[in-house]
């Protein structure tokens, strides 16, 4: 059983399997086109990029990430732990993101979070391991599993663009909540991440703009005091 989407061939296989499970996705692909593979590097740098890009415009996020990557090459947990908060702030990072990155870095250094090895776990177990770390909320965990590790069954149910795409694609009266997105996608196991890719692509075609993940508004489980990286409003991610 294919459990990860690493190559274009993997994606083609998974798209065919998803289409057999729910033929509506065949129509969505025919309408909006084949979704891109869109993979990020895994490990600490990959997770850090997701966190850095949150709550910012694409241009602002790219500028900050460029400065951070240039200042710390390679971007390692050890480098972030040693870095003074004031230096990170000058690079453009907010105080919550600095706290989140430092806590994640310390957790990785202590051996309590093996980011690359999470690919060996089921998506739910890997998600639980990520969200157990202060600074990683559910949305961040889901996007890391999908875009960095290529988990075939990761499902970012709280993503706003995904919710809106589901509403449009399936003729729902209202945009489904994160809770409602879970049973909606149950029939798509073990290809839920592929379903997400198709729906994001459909969102882009229908809305005439980028169908990348969109961070949900603050929720109780992702308040800055608890998770440290989610901000005041939803925005379009570059993940």
Site of tokens 């875009």:
147
Report the pLDDT value the prediction gives residue 221, as an integer from 0 to 100: 38
The predicted model gives 157-178 an average pLDDT of: 95
The DSSP bridge partners found for residue 4 are: 151
CA nearest to 228, candidates 108, 76, 105: 105
The tens digit of pLDDT for each residue in 63-111 reads 999 999 999 999 999 999 999 999 999 999 999 999 999 999 999 999 9
Taking CA atoms, 184 is separated from 23, 80, 128, 156, 177, in Å, by 15, 39, 21, 12, 10
Residue 195 has a CB neighbour count (10 Å cut-off) of 29
**Could you give the CA distance from residue 40 to residue 119 in angstroms, rounded to a whole number?**
14
Residue 106 has a CB neighbour count (10 Å cut-off) of 18
**Could you give the CA distance from residue 172 to residue 156 in angstroms, rounded to a whole number?**
19
Per residue, what are the HEC states of 84-138? CHHHHHHCCCCHHHHHHHHHHHHHHHCCCCCCHHHHHCCHHHHHHHHHCCCCCCH
The DSSP bridge partners found for residue 214 are: 236
Taken in order of first residue, the domains within the chain and their CATH numbers are: 8-38+153-207 (1.10.1670.40), 43-151 (1.10.340.30)
Residue 46 has a CB neighbour count (10 Å cut-off) of 20
Q: Quickly state the pLDDT bin for 238 (edges 50, 70, 90).
A: very low
Q: Are 44 and 115 in contact (CB under 8 A)?
A: yes
Q: What letter would DSSP give residue 45? A: H
Query: Lowest mean pLDDT: which of 67-71, 78-82, 199-203, 220-224?
Result: 220-224
Report the pLDDT value the prediction gives residue 58, as an integer from 0 to 100: 80
The tens digit of pLDDT for each residue in 106-148 reads 999 999 999 999 999 988 899 999 999 999 999 999 999 999 9
Report the pLDDT value the prediction gives residue 215, as an integer from 0 to 100: 65
Report the pLDDT value the prediction gives residue 38, as an integer from 0 to 100: 86
Q: Does position 180 have pLDDT exceeding 80, yes or no?
A: yes
Q: Does position 239 have pLDDT exceeding 70, yes or no?
A: no
The tens digit of pLDDT for each residue in 18-68 reads 999 999 999 999 999 999 998 889 999 999 999 998 866 788 888 999 999
């Amino acid at each position: 059983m294919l459990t990860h989407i690493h190559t274009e061939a993997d994606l083609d296989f998974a798209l065919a399997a998803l289409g057999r499970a729910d033929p509506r996705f065949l129509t969505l692909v025919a309408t909006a086109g084949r979704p891109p593979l869109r993979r990020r590097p895994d490990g600490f740098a990959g997770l850090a990029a997701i966190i850095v890009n949150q709550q910012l415009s694409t241009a602002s996020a790219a500028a900050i990430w460029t400065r951070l990557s240039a200042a710390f090459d390679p971007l390692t947990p050890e480098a972030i732990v040693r870095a003074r908060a004031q230096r990170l702030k000058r690079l453009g990072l907010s105080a919550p993101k600095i706290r989140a990155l430092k806590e994640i870095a310390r957790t990785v250094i202590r051996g309590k979070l093996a980011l690359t090895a999470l690919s060996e776990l089921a998506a739910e177990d890997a998600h639980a391991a990520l969200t157990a770390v202060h600074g990683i909320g559910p949305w961040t965990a889901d996007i890391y599993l999908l875009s960095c590790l290529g988990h075939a069954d990761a499902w970012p149910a709280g993503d706003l663009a995904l919710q809106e795409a589901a509403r449009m694609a399936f003729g729902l009266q209202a945009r489904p909540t994160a809770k409602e997105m879970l049973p909606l996608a149950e029939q798509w196991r073990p290809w839920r991440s592929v379903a997400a890719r198709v729906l994001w692509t459909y969102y882009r075609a229908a809305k005439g703009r980028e169908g990348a993940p969109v961070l949900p508004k603050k929720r109780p489980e992702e308040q800055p005091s608890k998770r440290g990286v989610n901000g005041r409003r939803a925005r379009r991610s570059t993940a």
